[in-house]
Amino acid sequence: QVQLVESGGGLVQAGDSLRLSCAASVPSGRTFSNYGMGWFRQAPEKEREFVAGISWRNGITVYADSSVKGRFTISRDNAKSTVDLQMHSLKPEDTAVYYCAAEYFRTPETMGAGGMAAWGKGTLVTVSS
């Protein structure tokens, strides 16, 4: 199974930017570029929710809703087996543990339903007001 490690979380102030990164270790016989990749988050006392996804084939991106669209950008580097989440204009309500997730051939349009095959352990983002 693919192994995922997130990094880049921390404590920032409202309005700041932060870039999260997820490094993937892909099992033998599989190719990172064939993994649909997603970012999810879980705020305190809330369920985990989809944030953004990027397709395995052509880099198509999908974002959860207007709360993040326009402020967050997901991208991937297949040569480095990484997927990033660039976050701008952070708000206190963005405070959460952010998780990277992967699934072979998963399309981003379906990631909102959750159930990804592999998850990282998460990185905490705290936005102070």
pLDDT digit string (tens) for 39-74?
999 999 999 999 999 998 788 999 998 789 899 999
Per-residue confidence (pLDDT) for residue 121, from 0 to 100? 98
Q: Hey, how many other C-beta atoms are within 10 angstroms of the C-beta on 16? A: 14
CA dihedral 86, 88, 93, 94 (to 10 degrees): 10
What gap in Å lies between CA 90 and CA 14, rounded to an integer? Answer: 5
Task: Give whole-number Cα distances, 94 to 18, 50, 85, 111, in Å.
Answer: 11, 12, 13, 19
What are the two backbone dihedrals, phi and then psi, of residue 19, each rounded to the nearest 5 degrees? -120, 120
pLDDT digit string (tens) for 101-117?
999 999 999 998 888 99
Per-residue confidence (pLDDT) for residue 59, from 0 to 100? 85
> Of 34, 14, 15, nearest to 24 (Cα)?
34
Per-residue confidence (pLDDT) for residue 57, from 0 to 100? 77
Rounded to the nearest integer, the mean pLDDT of the chain is 95
